[in-house]
């Protein structure tokens, strides 16, 4: 090795020593070897692609990048902040306040997409160099190469999916750069072209993805598996409007969860915390019909890596990196109040039966939110566990006993089972086609609606502790003759179930894209505004404004980018 290479080697050692593992799991076997490999930092040197460990190191860094504060904060802000779920909290910084006012300027820090392109670059790097390692390292087998390509391809597709849902048209780059900060001066590719490419990419590799890394759910939810590929494909097809393909991939995920449930039940039925709601196995709110609920929340968001999880970004207690996006935005053990609050109408008078969003028996409003000094804050992800009585003798709302996390190690869930079930419901409703109000449905249309309703009903029953059909207040006939009613049924259940998980704004944008009109989006979002509602209504009326502006720095560095027309005149701050 010459002196220059020796110097590079020493620099590289320093870089890797500083880049401590973002996550790793103690006591595992198949995942442990991968997760304990230290990820490389921003610079990827061609000289070191000589063995399997080099590939795993950079693949690990792809996950590490997605777990960065920058990426997770954007998953929240891009996917949720503009929706009807969020408003200002305590000490809300100006950048978030302006977004909440629908005053998004090209100088706002959250228009910066660099962190996602850094993750994309790392995925591109793996895809570029891994085949060469396979050629020289006999320990890096052909099947391992294909599995690695599937994993990196799916992660890259997920990153681009976030970008196109946020900005619509973005530069589409599939070649690696020498470092994460290199600027590619290329035109933005159209939303539909990128969406088709993502579908093609994941379709090509899905069968090479690993089915399972071990017997424990924690081993199979912190990395992309075949089921993660399927969940992403279902979502991609939902945005494309290919309802049959969406249902196909939803069913693959759902059927796998049914198989897992049946296996667990046969092995040890007395210790299961899951039960069937219709045909769907879901974690019970209340174990063994006890008088206390909260078990679903505790397993999904407290403990994490639950039976229902498909893919989540994993944070391990006592490791160096924490999920500070959650502790800042939603709250922490030292403060139950975060920078983001909740519109009062989502929470108020639910237990009195006067809330338009949550029924009196719905456990989720008690688990997702908490009221402090007459203002509502997010408690999802903040609490480690929750418990509350399912019945009360006083007539008031039950007291929620919530145990907050001692440190900010909340996992961030990207896909879970009920999300997939509700994607399936949405696709079934759309597959039924146009239905005139009050018209008699064909047998085929009725079946699509019944399929959709069964998914929604299972999610709703679990949340409302409804195990006996005769107690249901959610009735198929109330929705069966109206397409808009069925669409709202699914949309509203997605809001309740996936609240604060970075989904709601994207759901509303998908609805508006499908309809070519923002009217229903506006009707959902407008009630959270206390003033300037007429100006907000006008501003939200165009399809262009559903997407974000390109950051000013990106426009200056890349002359091929053309600003979103909705923001071309927003060069001075508006006072909404």
Write the CATH number of the domain with boundaries 1-209+533-576: 1.25.40.390
Residue 336 near residue 379, CB atoms below 8 Å: yes
- Residue 1 is predicted with a pLDDT of 39
Q: How far apart are CA 332 and CA 324, in angstroms?
A: 9
- Residue 566 is predicted with a pLDDT of 96
Residue 372 near residue 336, CB atoms below 8 Å: yes
Residue (of 167, 232, 176, 188) closest to 206 by Cα position: 232
Packing angle of the helix pair 417-431, 226-240 (nearest 10 deg)? 30
Q: How far apart are CA 25 and CA 221, in angstroms?
A: 12
Rg (CA), the chain: 24
**pLDDT one-digit tens code per residue, 325-356:** 999 999 987 778 999 999 999 999 998 889 99
DSSP lists the bridge partners of residue 377 as 341, 370
Q: How far apart are CA 201 and CA 174, in angstroms?
A: 11
- Residue 471 is predicted with a pLDDT of 63
In this structure, the chain runs to a length of 576
What's the CA angle centered on 574, arms 96 and 530, to 5 degrees?
A: 65
The verdict on pTM exceeding 0.75 is: yes
Q: How many CB atoms lie within 10 A of CB 471?
A: 11
Those residues whose C-beta lies under 8 Å from the C-beta of residue 468, and which sit 6 or more positions away, are none
Q: How many CB atoms lie within 10 A of CB 437?
A: 9
Token readout for 26 is 């103690």
**pLDDT, one tens digit for every residue, the chain (576 residues):** 343 333 333 323 323 323 333 333 222 334 444 544 444 444 445 568 999 999 999 999 999 999 999 999 999 999 999 999 999 999 999 999 999 999 999 999 999 999 999 999 999 999 999 999 999 999 999 999 999 999 999 999 999 999 999 999 999 999 998 665 555 689 999 999 999 999 999 999 999 999 999 888 788 999 999 999 999 999 999 999 999 999 999 999 999 999 999 999 999 888 899 999 999 999 999 987 688 999 999 999 999 999 999 999 999 876 768 899 999 999 987 778 999 999 999 999 998 889 999 999 999 999 999 998 889 999 999 999 999 998 765 567 788 998 988 888 999 999 999 999 999 999 999 999 887 766 788 999 999 999 999 999 999 999 998 876 556 789 999 998 889 999 999 999 999 999 999 999 999 999 999 999 999 999 999 999 999 999 999 999 999 999 999 999 999 999 999 999 999 864 434 443
Those residues whose C-beta lies under 8 Å from the C-beta of residue 123, and which sit 6 or more positions away, are 62, 152, 153, 155, 156, 159
User: HSE-up of 197 (CA within 13 Å, CB side)?
Assistant: 18
Q: DSSP of 429-498, one letter per residue?
A: HHHT----TTPPPPHHHHHHHHHHHHHHHHHHHHHTT--SGGG----GGGTTT-HHHHHHHHHHHHHHHH
Q: How many CB atoms lie within 10 A of CB 531?
A: 9
Q: How far apart are CA 454 and CA 452, in angstroms?
A: 5
- Residue 288 is predicted with a pLDDT of 79
Residue (of 514, 518, 529) closest to 483 by Cα position: 514
Residue 26 CB burial class (10 angstroms; 0-12, 13-18, ≥19): exposed
Q: How many CB atoms lie within 10 A of CB 25?
A: 19
Q: How far apart are CA 186 and CA 166, in angstroms?
A: 19
Give how far the C-alpha of residue 335 lies from the chain's centroid of Cα atoms, to the nearest Å: 25
- Residue 173 is predicted with a pLDDT of 96
- Residue 352 is predicted with a pLDDT of 87
Query: Following CA atoms 184, 188, 191, 196 in sequence, which dihedral angle do they give, to the nearest 10 degrees?
Result: -60
Residue (of 254, 300, 276) closest to 467 by Cα position: 276
Q: Residue 562 has what DSSP assignment?
A: -
């Amino acid at each position: 090795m010459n002196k220059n290479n020796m110097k590079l080697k020493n620099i590289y050692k320093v870089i890797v020593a500083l880049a401590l593992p973002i996550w790793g799991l103690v006591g595992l076997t198949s995942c442990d070897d991968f997760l304990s490999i230290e990820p490389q930092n921003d610079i990827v040197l061609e000289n070191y692609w000589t063995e399997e460990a080099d590939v795993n190191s950079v693949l690990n860094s792809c996950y590490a990048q997605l777990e960065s504060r920058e990426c997770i904060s954007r998953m929240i802000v891009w996917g949720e902040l503009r929706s009807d779920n969020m408003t200002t909290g305590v000490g809300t910084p100006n950048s978030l306040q302006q977004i909440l006012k629908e005053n998004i300027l090209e100088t706002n820090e959250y228009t910066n997409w660099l962190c996602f392109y850094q993750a994309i670059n790392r995925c591109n790097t793996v895809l570029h160099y891994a085949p060469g390692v396979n050629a020289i390292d006999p320990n890096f087998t052909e099947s391992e190469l294909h599995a690695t390509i599937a994993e990196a391809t799916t992660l890259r597709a997920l990153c681009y999916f976030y970008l196109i849902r946020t900005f619509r048209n973005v530069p589409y780059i599939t070649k690696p750069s020498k470092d994460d900060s290199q600027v590619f001066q290329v035109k933005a590719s159209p939303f539909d072209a990128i969406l088709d490419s993502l579908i093609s990419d994941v379709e090509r590799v899905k069968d090479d993805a690993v089915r399972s890394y071990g017997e424990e759910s924690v081993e199979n939810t912190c990395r992309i598996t075949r089921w993660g590929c399927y969940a992403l494909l279902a979502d991609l097809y939902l945005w494309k409007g290919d309802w049959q393909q969406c249902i196909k991939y939803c069913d693959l995920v759902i059927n796998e969860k049914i198989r897992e449930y049946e296996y667990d039940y046969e092995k040890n039925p007395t210790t299961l915390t899951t039960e069937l709601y219709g045909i769907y196995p879901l974690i019970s709110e209340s174990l063994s019909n006890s008088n206390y609920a909260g078990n679903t929340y505790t397993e999904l968001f407290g403990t994490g890596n639950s039976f229902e999880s498909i893919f989540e970004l994993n944070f391990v207690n006592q490791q160096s990196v924490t999920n500070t996006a959650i502790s800042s935005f939603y709250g922490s053990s030292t403060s139950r109040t975060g920078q983001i609050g909740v519109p009062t109408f989502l929470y108020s008078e639910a237990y009195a039966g006067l809330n338009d969003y949550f029924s009196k028996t719905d456990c989720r409003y008690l688990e997702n939110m908490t009221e402090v000094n007459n203002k509502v804050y997010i408690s999802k992800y903040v609490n480690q566990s929750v418990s509350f009585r399912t019945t009360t003798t006083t007539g008031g709302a039950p007291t929620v006993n919530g145990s907050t996390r001692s440190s900010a190690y909340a996992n961030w869930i990207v896909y879970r089972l009920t999300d997939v079930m509700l994607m399936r419901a949405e696709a079934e409703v759309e597959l039924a086609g146009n239905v005139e109000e009050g018209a008699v449905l064909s047998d085929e249309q009725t079946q699509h609606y019944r399929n959709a309703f069964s998914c929604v009903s299972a999610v709703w029953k679990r949340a409302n502790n409804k195990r006996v059909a005769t107690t249901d207040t959610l009735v198929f006939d109330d929705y069966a003759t109206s397409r808009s009613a069925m669409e709202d049924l699914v949309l509203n259940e997605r809001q309740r179930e996936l609240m604060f998980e970075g989904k709601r704004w994207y759901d509303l944008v998908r609805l508006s894209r499908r309809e070519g009109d923002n009217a229903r989006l506006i009707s959902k979002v407008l009630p959270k505004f206390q003033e300037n509602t007429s100006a907000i209504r006008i501003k939200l009326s165009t399809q262009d404004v559903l997407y974000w502006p390109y950051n000013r720095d990106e426009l200056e560095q890349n002359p091929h980018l053309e600003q979103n027309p909705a923001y071309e005149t927003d060069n001075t701050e508006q006072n909404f």
